[in-house]
Chains A and B, each alone.
Chain A
C-alpha cells in the first residue's frame, strides 16, 4: 500500500523551487491555452485593451509633432523691426551694429526695401499691384534673432527697448503666439498624461473583469483546489498569467496601431516638411516607447488580475 503509507515526506527546498518553477510553466501554458480555447472573447478583450492603450500613444505622437512644428516655426521667427520710412541705409546699418553688440542678441540681418519688394513680387497676385507703384514704400527691416535659450523676460525686455527707439516704426514679435503655443502644448502634455492614466485604468478594469468572469466560471475547480490544500498563490497563478497574456498581446496591438497611425501620417507630414524647405523634422514615436508598451501593458494586466483574483479568492476561501 505504497500510496497510503505514512509517514509523509516533506519535499526539500530544491524540490519545492523546482516544483514552483514547474507550476509557473504549467500556469503560463494553461492560461494561454484557455485564451486560445475561446478566441473570439479573448480577441475582443485584447482589442478593447489595445485600442485603449493606443489612444494615448496616438495623442503622444500628435503632441510630439505639434511641439516639433512649433519649434521649427519658432526657429524662423526673428523679431522684425520696421524702421521709419525716412531711415537711410547707413542708419539702418548703424542700428544693426548697435543691436548686434547687445548680449541678448544673436544676430541682426538687414532687409532692404528692394528685397522686401522682390519678396512681395514673388507672391501670387501682387506683381501687378507693385508695378503700379511709383516708388518703393517699404522701409528697411532689421531681423533681430535673440540669443538661443533666451527666456521670455529677456526677449520681452529686448522688444521693449526696440520699441522705444526713435528710428523704429514697428516691432513685429512672434513671442506672444509662441507663448500661447507653448501654453497649449503644456495643456496637451497634461491631457495626454491624464488620458494615459484613465485609459490604463480602463485597461486594468477590462483585465480585472475578464479574470473575474473567468474565476467565477471556474469556482468549482477553485473550490476543489483549496480543499486539497492549494495556497492562494497556487490557485491565483494561472489567472495572473492570463492577465499577463491579455496585457502583453494588447500592448503589442497598441504599439502596432500606433505604428499604423504614424505610417498613415507620414505622407502628409512629408509634404508639410517640404513646404518648410526641409527645415521641419517631424519624428515618430521613439523606439524605446514602442518597446516599453507591451511589457508595461503586461504588468498592467498582471496588476488587474492580481487585484481581482485576490478579492475573488478571499470570497471563495
Chain B
C-alpha cells in the first residue's frame, strides 16, 4: 500500500465512473469511549459517497470493528455525529434501529448463520423481516444465491457447507434486502487467499451496481490487489485516507 500518509480529510468526490452521489455516510468528529476509559475511536471524520467501495484497515485494536459497529448501531458514539443519508445514527431511537438495519447489509467474519435453518431460510430472513411477500422472497433469495454460486445448496443446512460457502451464504443474506450500504467485518479472515479474492470480487460487483461497500480488513495484500479507497486507523485515529489510485 506504500507509505501511510499523514491524515488528510477525505473530500467528497465522484466515484464509480461519473456518478456523483450524495454523501451516504459521514463521520463528523466521532469518538467512542468504552467503560474504563478506553478510547476506541478519536475525533474521526471522513465521508463515503454513495456507491463507493472502501476498506478500513489498521492493526488489531485500531478501531475497525468499532467503526462498523457504530454504523450498524450496535454501539453508539460517545461524541460526534454519524450520518447516513442525512440521518444522524447517534440519535436513532431504539424503535427505529430495525428499520435502519434493514437498509444495511452486514457480513461478519464468523458468518452468524442460523445453523438449524436451511441456507434458503437464512438468506430469506431479512426479506421475511421486511414483510416481503413469499413469492417475491423466493425469487430474490434464489437470485442472491445464484449470485454467490450457491443456488444448488438452498436446502442444505449451513453446517454441511465449507467455511467459504458459509461466508457466501452470509453475503447472500446481506445483499438480498438490496441494502444501500454493505458493511463487512474481516469477511475473508478465515478464507484461503484464492477464496478471499473471489469474495472481494463479489463485493466489487455489488459496488458496481451502486451499493456502498465498507470493508474492515487487515489483509494488506488483498487490499492492495483490490485498488479501492483505504481508510487507515491507528489507535482509533484516522492516520491515512488513500484514494484508489494512491493504493500501490
A interface list, Cβ under 8 A from B: 1-9, 11, 15-16, 18-20, 22-23, 220-221, 223-232, 234, 317
Contacts and interface: CB of A to CB of B under 8 A. Distances in A.
B129 A229 contact: yes
B69 to A, nearest CB: 10
Interface magnitude class on chain B: 35 or more
A27 to B, nearest CB: 11
B143 interface: yes
B74 interface: yes
B5 interface: no
Nearest to B134: A22
B129 A225 contact: yes
Contacts, number: 101
Given A22-B134, A221-B114, A223-B112, A1 B205 contact: yes
Contacts of B211: 4, 6
A234 B104 CA distance: 18
A173 to B, nearest CB: 69
Of A9, A20, A229, most buried by chain B (CB within 10 Å of CB) is A229
A228 B101 contact: yes
Interface stretch (B27-35, B36-44, B173-181, B232-240): B173-181
B146 to A, nearest CB: 8
Given A19-B131, A231-B98, A3 B125 contact: no
Given A8-B103, A16-B131, A226-B98, 13 more contacts: A3-B175, A5-B178, A8-B178, A19-B128, A23-B128, A224-B113, A228-B101, A228-B177, A229-B126, A229-B129, A229-B177, A231-B98, A232-B98
B229 interface: no
Contacts of A225: 125, 129
A170 to B, nearest CB: 79
B80 interface: no
Contacts of B74: 227
B94 A4 contact: no
Interface in B129-187: 129-134, 139-141, 143-144, 146-147, 172-173, 175-180
17 contacts: A1-B206, A3-B143, A3-B172, A4-B209, A6-B178, A11-B133, A15-B132, A19-B128, A20-B131, A224-B125, A227-B101, A229-B99, A229-B126, A229-B130, A231-B98, A234-B129, A317-B97
A2 B99 contact: no
B123 to A, nearest CB: 9
